[in-house]
Amino acid sequence: MCCTNGVAADAPSSVTLELNKSLVTRFFAAFEQTITTGVPDPQLDTIVAADYVQHEQGIAPGLAGLKAYLTRLHAAIPDLSCKVTDMVAEGHRVVVRTACTYHNAKTNQTATDITIDAFRISGGKLAEHTNWSE
């Protein structure tokens, strides 16, 4: 069946879109907790798929690779803090813009990086992520 009232039969409902956005919001809360403490937040296990795909060099595949990366990120930039400033959901994808602040040791000033993160959700968990930074 192609369409019902002009909507593709497999199109996510507005409830699904809100659940997907909630999942990404929960991810950023767990991300923030992990980069603040250096200890992976146990919530990551309920949010991120075990076979999570990260399209960024230096991050090993899977949930374990993500946890290891976040632990290294805390060690490298212990005062890093990221806030979601915009979020859009379409289909099984959620895209966010974040503002991340930290102390830049080279300039001895507070720096802010703007990042665009794109997530794909599958089976109620984050399955794939890519990002672009300024």
Residues 89-114 have pLDDT tens digits of: 999 999 999 999 999 888 999 999 99
Bridge partners (DSSP) of residue 87 are 96
Ranges under pLDDT 50 in the chain: 1-9
pLDDT at 8: 42
Indicate the average pLDDT of the chain: 90
User: Secondary structure of the chain in the HEC alphabet?
Assistant: CCEECCEECCCCCHHHHHHHHHHHHHHHHHHHHHHHHCCCCCCHHHHEEEEEEECCCCCCCHHHHHHHHHHHHHHHCCCCEEEEEEEEEECCEEEEEEEEEEEECCCCEEEEEEEEEEEEEECCEEEEEEEEEC
CATH no. for 12-133: 3.10.450.50
pLDDT at 10: 54
Q: How far is 73 from 28, CA to CA, in rounded Å?
A: 14
Domain boundaries, the chain: 12-133
